[in-house]
Structure 1
Amino acid sequence: MNLPSLRATERFANQMILDACRGAKRVHIVDYGILYGDQWPSLIKALSERAEGPPLLKITGIDFPSLVNLEKTGNRLVDYAKSCGMHLEFHSIATAAWESAQPRYHLFSELLFVNCQLRMRHIREDGIIDSPRKLFLEKILSFKPVMFFQSVVHADIGSPFFIHRFDGAWRSFLARLESFEETMKLELIDQSQLDFMDKFIEKCAMGAIACDGQNRVERISSYKTWDRLARKGQFGQLPVSKRALEMVMSVWSGHENFTYGMDENWLLLGWKDVVLNALSVWEPIEKLPRFKHQ
């Protein structure tokens, strides 16, 4: 669906990728939670129109095998790239254990970006030494990406106790449902799609609040939790570019109740006084020399 929350995160990452890969000849995007790949056609189109010509583009799409047919996702993107006169190499990794996925990449010949848009909530947080979230960030760090886009669904419902999760989830999911209904009405969405979104949010809320252990698939955390994990994982936060902010605001200003703010370099998108999503971009503290990628 053409929701502002999705368009905002996509435009945020795409604009920063477009600016960062200016002049690069080989670009590789590793996308965790690619689903149907709806984020990438606009970037492919923009890259195909570069004054210096398009780069050789590779996308590695990673997602749960139970959610999507990645082969179909790849075929759609490859066909679209061809229609733009551009070659796209697509690789897929179907796994629920994102922390173990190993994309094929060339460290010194590709400009590598890692993208995870609003799906980090599906990474488990059990364990201390071998926490999947810790291993996931360690894996990304080993790639030495130019940029790591971490846009997260925000809610303070990470407590193991039901009553605390319920209190935090009530305000968060109520605000999400209200924002979806109001913005989708503006786009003349029919009632069946509104009903679908109601059921989707209900399912997410149940998964976040009422389930425990392996049955809990919605593990939404505060953006401050992800900030702490990223910094502990040897990532440094990059500032949001002026152009990327403009692209986000082009879709996040269609309703009077949309709000935004900055917390250090986190771009916070909200509905009224409730933060819904938090957008950020990171780089390894020990990074590779940029000239080697050109």
Structure 2
Amino acid sequence: MRVAGERFIHFSNKKLDGITSFIHPDGSVLSGLSSEDTRMVDLAHLLLDSAEKVGSKQFHAADKLLMHCEGKVSESGHPVERIIYHFSKALRERITTEIRSRAGMIETDQVRDYSGLSSGIDLTCLVLHQAIPFSQVMQFASIQTILENVAGAKKIHLIDLQLRNGVQWTPFIRALSERKAIPVQLLKITAFQTTDKEKAEKIGKRLQSYAKSMNISLIFKVVSVVNMKDLKVGLFNTRPGEAVVVYSPTVLSAMIPRPANLQIVLRVLRKLKPKLMVVNEVEANQNSPSFVQRFTEALFFFSAWFDALGDCINRDNPYRMDVERSYFGQGIQSIVATEGEERISRSVTINVWRVFFQRFKMVEIDISQSSLNQVNLVLEQKFSCGSSCTIQKNGKCLIVGWKGTPLHSVSAWKFK
């Protein structure tokens, strides 16, 4: 993708900031590529050219370029083919929508569903968690950070803003059971759910059973609201003497299209006076008002993910196909094919979050060296492809990437 980007710039009449920002200062070696790699560069070049044409409303020219792409890619082929398949499909939808809009034919009652992994494909989530290092890297860094900040607490109250399948808390419970100097008297986990309360309660029962086997007393509760305006401090039932910790795993960015909800959540959390808030987020600027810049940022981000899937999971694995189609494919559609309130995927970088969190008097604290050591241990022991997962510090937070491309951030915060 980087080679294609450089070649696209070289042959373009004008520079596109959204593309040039990704080009390595040393450049890439355009010669010496295999015939297969050269074919992939050609396809990626066509895709970038098509996106430029769409951005400048040259839909007929974009359509011709897409036709060349679509006949040469497959959603089950080479990782570059797979990523171009999904981006071509999204560009095609954008072209169709814009042409219909110009002709006054837009369907105002059309409803899109970009629910992705939250739609309940649990087994796919589990396969992804076990095969790709990013999820476990973020979880273990987060858990270690939480453990360090509640080391002296006898009563711990975890507020999880997105429970998912709850597997992140089994190593945490195990670690607490091994703490001898200051034994834990009580662990509370409050799961914040806006959908599927019953599923969360089943997960809670499994966690309680596991905690009992580890001699940890666990109280599990689900806080569920239909309208975010109904979210109140009292719902979390915090008690004096509890060390309150908030865990936010890639959930705040989902609220960017609804900023009022995001502000409500942070105001309520601030009033809970948590000892710590750990935030995992997507590290990509997919919220730019510039279509071409947003497209290019998304292309490099998802290309790194598809490359990771290609290195870590067999090409024909049905769960790989499932995550590419049901999660990433829909995310690409949202970023590329939609605008305004309809565009749900709006990730931003850690620097944007830093500015935003300052408004709520949140102070960033350092992710410790021991957390970094824990992450490296996970990569070495659990993943054959772990060497391609890159961990870097950005100020006080961790940036998790793939072969140097940033994908996620792990940061820790306290409220003044």
- For normalisation by structure 1, the TM-score amounts to 0.86
**Is 2:328 the counterpart of 1:201?**
yes
Instruction: Give the Å deviation of 1:208.
Output: 3.1
Instruction: Give the Å deviation of 1:252.
Output: 4.0
**Alignment match, 2:369:** 242
What are the residue-to-residue correspondences of 1:1-294 with 2, within 5 Å?
Answer: 1=126, 2=130, 3-51=132-180, 52-65=182-195, 69-95=199-225, 100-102=230-232, 103-106=235-238, 108-126=240-258, 131-184=260-313, 191-199=317-325, 200-252=327-379, 254-285=385-416
SS of aligned partner of 2:269: helix
Instruction: Give the Å deviation of 1:161.
Output: 4.3
Q: Does structure 2 retain, via aligned residues, the 8 Å contact 1:99–1:136?
A: no
SS of aligned partner of 1:243: helix
Letter in 1 for 2:190: T
Q: Does structure 1 retain, via aligned residues, the 8 Å contact 2:208–2:218?
A: yes
Q: Does structure 1 retain, via aligned residues, the 8 Å contact 2:155–2:184?
A: no
Letter in 2 for 1:85: N
The 2-side partners of 1:165 and 1:96 are apart by: 31
Q: What 5-or-longer segments of structure 2 have no aligned partner? A: 1-125
Letter in 1 for 2:324: D
Q: Does structure 1 retain, via aligned residues, the 8 Å contact 2:158–2:188?
A: yes
- Once the two structures are superposed, residues 20-71 of structure 1 have per-residue CA deviations (whole angstroms, 9 ceiling, x without a partner) of 2223221000000111211101111111222133330000001331597211
Q: Does structure 1 retain, via aligned residues, the 8 Å contact 2:401–2:408?
A: yes
Letter in 2 for 1:256: S
Count of matched residue pairs:
279
Greater helix percent: which structure? 2
CA separation of 1:217/1:252 partners in 2, compared to 1, >3 Å: closer, same or farther?
A: farther
- For normalisation by structure 2, the TM-score amounts to 0.62
CA separation of 1:234/1:117 partners in 2, compared to 1, >3 Å: closer, same or farther?
A: same
The 1-side partners of 2:369 and 2:189 are apart by: 26
Q: Please, which moves more after superposition, 252-261 or 141-150?
A: 252-261
The 1-side partners of 2:376 and 2:194 are apart by: 31
Greater strand percent: which structure? 1
**Alignment match, 2:88:** none
- Once the two structures are superposed, residues 99-122 of structure 1 have per-residue CA deviations (whole angstroms, 9 ceiling, x without a partner) of 753342335310000001122221
SS of aligned partner of 1:24: coil
CA separation of 1:270/1:91 partners in 2, compared to 1, >3 Å: closer, same or farther?
A: same
Letter in 2 for 1:167: T
The structure having more radius of gyration, on CA atoms, is 2
SS of aligned partner of 2:357: helix
Q: Does structure 2 retain, via aligned residues, the 8 Å contact 1:208–1:220?
A: no
Q: Does structure 2 retain, via aligned residues, the 8 Å contact 1:47–1:55?
A: no
SS of aligned partner of 1:204: helix
Instruction: Give the Å deviation of 1:82.
Output: 1.6
Letter in 1 for 2:255: I
SS of aligned partner of 2:390: strand
The 2-side partners of 1:92 and 1:210 are apart by: 35
Letter in 2 for 1:173: F
Instruction: Give the Å deviation of 1:205.
Output: 1.9
Letter in 2 for 1:281: A
Q: Please, which moves more after superposition, 7-16 or 254-263?
A: 254-263
CA separation of 1:100/1:196 partners in 2, compared to 1, >3 Å: closer, same or farther?
A: same
Q: Does structure 2 retain, via aligned residues, the 8 Å contact 1:100–1:136?
A: no
The 1-side partners of 2:331 and 2:206 are apart by: 28
Q: Does structure 2 retain, via aligned residues, the 8 Å contact 1:99–1:139?
A: no
CA separation of 1:208/1:97 partners in 2, compared to 1, >3 Å: closer, same or farther?
A: farther
Q: Please, which moves more after superposition, 97-106 or 131-140?
A: 97-106
SS of aligned partner of 2:352: helix
SS of aligned partner of 2:387: coil
SS of aligned partner of 1:251: helix
Q: Does structure 2 retain, via aligned residues, the 8 Å contact 1:35–1:63?
A: no
The 2-side partners of 1:244 and 1:108 are apart by: 29
CA separation of 1:7/1:195 partners in 2, compared to 1, >3 Å: closer, same or farther?
A: same
SS of aligned partner of 1:112: strand
- Once the two structures are superposed, residues 158-177 of structure 1 have per-residue CA deviations (whole angstroms, 9 ceiling, x without a partner) of 12443332121111111111
